[in-house]
Every structure is written in structure tokens, then in C-alpha cells.
Amino acid sequence: MIKTSIAVLLAVAAGTAVAQQPEFVAGMLSTVPSGYALASLADLQSADFLNQYNSVGINYVQPFDAGALCCVVSVQEGFASIGPSNSFSNYLQPFHNGVGACTSNTQPNGTTFGIPSFAPGPYEGMWISNLTSKEQAGFRVTGLTPSGANFNECGLSGAATTAIYRMIPPKYIVQIVGPGFPVPSGYAVATLADLLSVDFQTSYNTAGGVVMTASDTASYCCILEVSEGWVGYNDAAGVSPLGLFSESMEDVLCGVGQDRQLVYIGTSFDGPNTGTVFSTFNVSVTSLLGTFNHQNFTFCSTVNASQTLLKRVSTSKYIVQVVGTNYPAPPTSQYTVASIADVQSQDFLDFYNTNGG
């Protein structure tokens, strides 16, 4: 524990917006974008997808290939469609401003879903310019390759297929935590040891910072916190509390409405080293980090919510996903294809029975 007697009055400051990482992007099924995994049907039916779809649409992070194109949107379980039943539905295709956007060598932004006028079915000729829960409930998938006059290229060997991807949850994030602001599912409050670890250094340096997620309250402490308390940079001159900086390193980020922004950690608030931004984390930085007492700060001593470092907890040990031609397996850093020995193991038996599937 670092001992300190300095006192800082922290006011809620407005942060300057920096680049946000979109939760959903589109690309080619054959090439998984870095930091993303193939989305599932449940992802397309989620509130997060609906919100992004209606606000900015889905950007392509890769151009359409120059060869044969299968323009039906793919997800983990197969090809996506919309309709009242599997036998009476229309395949979903990328649209932009009401017309099909599946064109070789283009990379459109703000795409939505639509069904061409030449595709018979319950939604023939419809552009879903604004997505509602009603349409989401009608989304379905099939593992069968689209066929027929409208989808000739889908059956061609080597045909490129378009797909929707969802951002892999970052291993470490910073989020407001306190009364009324719980730790999100899949994460736990990080410890000081986590912050000082080689694992965090690697994650921070590889990503170029740490992701700060949604903040929708104007009453919280802007000092970075871990499970043991607030974090400070401590040298012979004294303690400098840690906060967050924009990617430009010019703006202290402590405001409302900021979501999924990549930020740097630095000494934001007073102390002998205030204004120092850590563009990389290494042992020379971590060796001077420690926690200090809440009671030494006038403003933050009365506020129960703080910018808190969180660590992602383990993902599900076993999952089922379509894998094969045009359906790549998840990154090997996350999953590998199980063997028959895995399925017959006591470990799988215990996992299956404990989780109910």
C-alpha cells in the first residue's frame, strides 16, 4: 500500500471523443478480421446489434472479392434469412441506401439488410432501412448452400461469401463500477497484480491502450481503481493518481457517453508526475505502481463509483459451432476443434452436466 497525504479535488470533466471500435463489422467469410469472431444468430437478434444497425449500420472492413460472390449474409450457424419459417423465408443480403451493396472490389460503409426484388418470398423486394425487434425475431439460419437462379454463384467452388463479425470482448476494459453500476457479465474487478502482470502489459501494448466502455453517469471518481483501491504512480517525489487519456494523449477522459474507446493510462490528476501518459506498459512503469487510501481525496471520498479496471473471466470451455468449407473455426487462441477423446472425457461430462448442456 502506498502512503500519501496529498489531497485532490476531482471535478467531473468532459472528455473529448476518440475513435470507437464498432462492435459489429462485415467482411469476407474466408478472412476473419483481427479482434473479431464470426457473429451468431443470437448476436443478430441482440439489442446491441439493433442499436448499431439503426445508428450507423454495418461497415465493411474488407472489400468484396473480385471473383464469384455469394451475397447471402453468413453467421456462425449458416446463411441468414428472414421469414415465418425455414421453408418460407428470404436470404438476407447487404444493402446500402436501398440497393444491393454486394459489388466486387468495393468496401461499403453503413450497410443494412435487404432482399432483392427478384428473390421470391415473404419479404421480396424489401429494404430493412430501420431494424425492429419484429424483424429480428424473424431472423433464422440454414446450413444449406443457397441455390437456384438467384444464387448461382453460391454453389461455385471458391465463391467468396460475405459475413457479419462481432468484436471479441477485450481481455481488459475500464468501466464505471459502483452502486447501481455493476460489473458486466463475463468480467471481474482486476487486482493490482493483474495490472502489474506481463499479461496486461502484452494486452495493453498490442492493442495500443485499453478499451473504456460505456459511462452513463456524471457522478463517479475519475481515478483508476482495482480491487485493492485507487492506483497511483509512486516515486521519490510522491504519488500521482492514475486516470485515462485519449489516443492523442492530449485529453483527460472523464465524462459521460463515452463507449468502446481505446484509451491510454496516465497520471491525470495532480501529483509530482501529473500529465505523464504511458503509451506502453513495461516493468519500469509497473514497478512504481501501487494503491492508496480513498480517504485522502476530498471529492472521491464521497463518491462510491470509480473508473475501474476489469479483467475478462474464462469463456465457456466447450461450444458448438458450424465449421467447414467457408466456415472457419474460431481463432486458435480461443478454441480448437475437440477430439472424440475430449467428448468422452470426464471433464466434458462434468461441464455438460454442470451447465445443463
Q: Are residues 59 and 162 in the same domain?
A: yes
Residue 62 lies in a domain: yes
**5 lies in a domain?**
no
C-alpha–C-alpha distance, residues 264 and 204, integer Å: 9
Residue 12 in domain: no
| Statement: residue 238 has pLDDT above 90 | no
Per-residue confidence band for 142, with pLDDT thresholds at 50, 70 and 90: confident
Stated pTM of the model: 0.63
**Cβ pair 138, 92 in contact under 8 A:** no
Q: Which of 108, 143, 167 is the last residue of a domain?
A: 167
Residue of higher predicted confidence among 279 and 152: 279
Average pLDDT over residues 207-214: 83
What percent of the chain shows pLDDT beyond 70? Answer: 79
| Overall number of domains in the chain | 3
Judged against a pLDDT cut of 90, whether residue 96 lies above it is answered with yes
56 shares a domain with 142: yes
Q: Which of 167, 197, 230 lies at the terminal end of a domain, its last residue?
A: 167
- Asked whether 204 and 212 are in contact (CB, 8 A), the reply is no
pLDDT band at 241; cut points 50, 70, 90? confident
43 with 147, same domain: the answer is yes
Domain co-membership, 151 together with 29:
yes
**Do 267 and 147 belong to one domain?**
no
Indicate the pLDDT class of residue 250, thresholds 50, 70 and 90. low
Structural domain includes residue 142: yes
216/88 same-domain check: no
The three cell numbers locating residue 349: 461430462
Which of 66-75, 132-141, 345-354 shows the highest mean pLDDT? 132-141
Q: How much is the pLDDT for 20?
A: 59
d(CA 6, CA 164): 50
Do 37 and 130 fall into the same domain?
A: yes
Average pLDDT value for residue range 67-79: 91
Q: Identify which of 287, 285, 264, 266 has the alpha carbon closest to the alpha carbon of residue 207.
A: 264
Q: What tens digit of pLDDT does each residue of 251-279 get?
A: 666 655 556 678 889 887 766 777 788 99
Q: What is the pLDDT of residues 329-339, one digit of tens each?
A: 665 556 778 87
- Of the residues 312, 329, 347, the one at which a domain ends: 312
- pLDDT tens-place string over residues 305-328: 888 999 988 666 777 777 776 666
> 281 and 211: one domain?
yes
3-state secondary structure of 150: helix
Considering only residues 12 and 127, tell me which one the structure prediction assigns the higher pLDDT. Answer: 127
Tell me: do 139 and 213 sit in the same domain. Answer: no
Domain carrying residue 330 = 316-357
Q: Cα dihedral sign for 105, 110, 113, 115?
A: negative
Query: Does 9 reside within a domain?
Result: no
pLDDT band at 110 (very low <50, low <70, confident <90, very high): very high
Quickly state the pLDDT bin for 119 (edges 50, 70, 90). confident
**Which of the residue ranges 1-10, 185-194, 289-298 has the most confident prediction, judged by mean pLDDT?**
185-194
Answer whether residue 113 is part of any domain: yes
The residue that leads in pLDDT, 193 or 276, is 193
- Do 304 and 323 reside in the same domain of the chain? no
Is residue 191 domain-shared with residue 90, that is, in the same domain?
A: no
Q: What is the mean pLDDT of residues 14-25?
A: 60
How high is the pLDDT of residue 112? 96
Is 19 among the domain residues? no
The CB density around residue 226, as the number of other CB atoms within 10 Å, is 23
Given a cut of 90, whether residue 94 has pLDDT beyond it is yes
pLDDT of residue 292: 80
Does residue 10 lie in a domain region? no
Distance CA 128, CA 146 (A): 21
Residue 128 and residue 112 share a domain: yes
Q: What is the DSSP string of 103-124?
A: -TT---SSBEEE--TTS-STTT
| Strand partners for 166 | 24, 37
Amino acid at 318: Y
**What mean pLDDT comes out for the span 32-41?**
89
Instruction: Using alpha carbons, select from 164, 157, 163 the residue that is nearest to residue 67.
Output: 157
* Cα–Cα nearest to 190, from 159, 158, 146, 229: 229
